[in-house]
Amino acid sequence: MHTVRSLADYVGGTVVGGSADIPITGINDLRAAQPDQISFLGNTKYEPLARVSKAGAILVSPADSPKFSFTRIEVESPSFAFGKISALFASPPVHDEPGIHPTAIVAPDAVIGEGASIGPCAIISAGVQIGARTVIGAHCFIGERTIIGADVRIYPLVTIRERSVLGTRIIIHSGAVIGADGFGYSFDSKTGRHVKIDHTGYVQIDDDVEIGANTTIDRGRFGRTYVGEGAKIDNLVMIAHNVTIGPHCIIVAQTGISGSTTLGRYVTLAGQVGVAGHLTIGDRATVTAQSGITKDAPGGTVYSGLHLMPTREYLKKEALIRRLPELLERLKALEDKVKSLE
């Protein structure tokens, strides 16, 4: 059985206030937590909920801890610590029986690694290589000559097109499409038609990447579209042909990245960011939600707005825009005063 003390020891935290011997049997959010559950305060706007929460203990930062009197565990990152504790109470992982389901279609020359699992109605095309202990879910399609490393989990209804190259410990959620043709056409003025450009490249995804549901990553027009080690890509993200995503980037839902753009290491693109093509975004740049990137963005800066600029500058301009009605009234008053003096 877990207690507040044992959980504090587990995450390297310190128990403050109340009793360290309270038994903890589960986790919950601040609003719903019960006396035998633990929660966390990761954002100061939820302080009112923390004050009235019934949780047996709450993970808080050392800076926030003095504000409260309830039983709490002080940790540098309450969110990260809560994630570790969550694993202790998680349901057992789904067991995937090694082997090939009778309804799966596997090409005779496909190589299936030891302990791999091929689910119902999955299709494994010619020349495919699948690593040890990798799980291919029901109704997945793996195209010709695709290489998938060990310990990969591909959830049901994922499509991975031909010649894709995937590393190890990758997670791909349902509905994702890897390696579709890029959106490339040339206009033929003689016929008045858009003529499709063949995309002969491929997609490469390195180790420890996670790709969300219904995300699409297009193959290169030539060469590769590349996702670096440890990148985490949310649901409903569009990555176009020949894009390079550097290691450990975070790309949040409904973001779209146009062709041949390069992201450096540890770049964060928040939700609904739009990125034009053939751009470079430097290491550790952060782009806030609903921003538009139409020019190169040096690293180490937080950017905002439809016409990308450092966030501090953007906020100043937004503040001035809000004051325009007031400034207009003042201008009119000055004009009237000048007229009265004429």
Catalytic residues: 241
Give the SS3 label for residue 209.
coil
Residue 325 is given by DSSP the state H
- Give the amino acid at 136: I
Specify which residues 225 forms β-bridges with: 203
Q: How many other CB atoms sit within 10 Å of the CB of residue 134? A: 24
Q: What is the dihedral of CA 329, 333, 336, 340, to 10 degrees?
A: 170
| 185's tokens | 């056409």
CB 122 within 8 A of CB 101: yes
Please say whether the dihedral angle defined by the alpha carbons of residues 307, 313, 315 and 320, taken in this order, is positive or negative.
negative
Closest CA relative to residue 148, chosen from 161, 134, 162: 134
In sequence order, which ranges of 65-144 are alpha helices (DSSP H)?
A: 78-89
| 263's tokens | 């992201």
| 180's tokens | 């579709």
Closest CA relative to residue 68, chosen from 109, 17, 126: 17
| 220's tokens | 């290169």
CB 219 within 8 A of CB 161: yes
| 18's tokens | 């109340």
CB 253 within 8 A of CB 235: yes
